[in-house]
Amino acid sequence: MPPGSDTSAAAVGASAAPAAPPRPGRAARLAALARREAARTGLAAATGTGLAFAFPPYDLWPLSVLAVAALALLTHGRTARQGAWTGFVLALPFFFLLLRWLNVVGYDVVFGLSAAEALFVGALGAGLAVTSRLRGWPVWGACLWVAEEWARDRVPFGGFPWGRLAFANTHSPFTPLAALGGAPLVSFAVALAGGLLAFAGLAAWRLRGSGAPRGPRPLLPPVEAAAVAVAVTVAGYAVPVPTKADDTVNIAVVQGDVQKPGMDFLGRPMMILNNHVDATLDLARDVRAGRVKRPDLVIWPENSSDLDPFQDKVAYARIDQAVRAIGVPVLVGALVDHPTKAGYVYNEGIVWDPKTGPGASYTKQHPVPFGEYVPFREELSKVVSRLQRVPRDFYPGDHTGVMKVGPARLGDVICFEVAYDEIVRETVNAGARALVVQTNNATFGRTDQPEQQLAMSRLRAVEHGRAVVTAATSGISAVVGPDGEVRERAPEFTRQVISASIPLRDGTTVADRAGAAPEWALAIVGLLSCAAALLTGRRKRPDQTMDKKGQQ
């Protein structure tokens, strides 16, 4: 064989072998990655849009479970940064649609608040991506949902709880769980059911792609996960919701109405007060004529007096006239000037007796930032002229709203305070036998906001085993039983008086006794799971590096 023949044969053999496909260039790889990320981003935005329809007035609560499942799948196996982007993209359209009732102030406010709230869900997405590497990740993901809501309910400026998973499930199989662990336990159960569905879907997909035999055993993990998801969903039906009354009281809720919705709902001075006075005088005439049974007490809404009755003699006289005519105590909502701090005002519920006049009162503890007070007013007013529409800052109260109104010991909660777990729970634990939510939704009339707030009252009723009476200037006024069912309601922008008998209860629920402990425990577990995932990932990196070097 001539010299070099081996080399020539090898060359011939090599030339005869099929050539390996060329590796895609960097530009092609980046283009493929961009297409995948664009699809993922689009799916996240679509999921957030769908999640908004889980909330009132649509109440398609199963969408909340599916949205959790979708976010779990979209963040599974991703980096923390990718998970954060996915969470933010999901949350931005969700909050924009949920909070679009703020457009009466401006769409820039809707977008700004939506973006701020979406940052929290971005952090959640990062946590979901990191913990998806751990065994049992649906559980850790559900805990992270609670941690995200815990943070969003508290910061900044006392937080903004709108959009919690629990508030989409105020009339669903999950609702009774509120009697055990409050809104946080409801959110946890919804998130756990969604995470388990994601686990089942991912397991089924991997099974399908692995080519494993399709006997009953390989299908068991996804089937088991789906079955547990269903079990979590219906577990609330096994929870007893306490509703037995220790006593009853007859009430009348006066919805006096306003002339127009929006930022200028107040109109001219005395207009709203006169509406509530006149409606109460009509009620008194009906009582005297025997057409209506005399109530034991009457409830007016927040801001039913648009003037300080202690400063304006005409306003005082009109309220006193109405209370004396009906002959029973009236819980009056009024704005009262701060006695020592100029420029500050109290948002109060005042018990007005037909014989002794104004007595006990409750001052709203949690004024709404930028709606009832302006943080950093001096600095921000220089650049945001719109803040001048909040001319005075509301001064917060320092105690619960438990007051004796006639024969009943009621707990007063004013407007947005119904969204905050701690305020409502402390009111019940202080001895409230029923809850009253005095509210003024006229600014957001004919939007989704009144329905969303009423849904919170329904959840609170189940959580605390208490009847909840919502008194609104323009609607929706309603009476909710301890089981969360709406027994009476008045439509928006009508003058109407609701007469009803409500149960009074002394017993407390497990949620009342447990307090914030379940929320703290679940949130801490979620954060610890993130720490565990990060530590586990760091320990694996040196081994992975050595493997790569050994393969080179």
Active site residues: 302, 364, 415
Tell me the CA distances in angstroms from 189 to 11, 143, 485, 516, one per residue in order.
66, 10, 21, 16
Distance in angstroms (rounded) separating the CA atoms of residues 530 and 527:
5
* 266-297 burial code (b ≥16 CB/10 A, e <16): beeebebbbbbbebbeebbebbeeeebebbbb
* Cα torsion 257, 261, 263, 266: sign: negative
C-alpha 385: how far from chain center? 30
Q: With left for phi above 0 and alpha for psi between -120 and 50, is residue 480 left, alpha or beta?
A: beta
Residue type, 8: S
Q: How many residues does the chain have?
A: 552
Residue type, 520: W
Report helix, strand or coil for 479.
strand
Nearest to 352 by CA among 273, 244, 435: 273
Q: Using H for helix, E for strand and C for coil, what is the string for 28-85?
A: HHHHHHHHHHHHHHHHHHHHHHHHHCCCCCCCCCHHHHHHHHHHHHHHCCCCHHHHHH
Distance in angstroms (rounded) separating the CA atoms of residues 405 and 415:
19
With both helix axes pointing from N to C terminus, report the angle between 62-75 and 178-210 in degrees, rounded to the nearest 10: 50
Q: Quick one: tokens of 164?
A: 């919690």
With both helix axes pointing from N to C terminus, report the angle between 107-131 and 137-152 in degrees, rounded to the nearest 10: 150
Q: Quick one: tokens of 137?
A: 């990740």
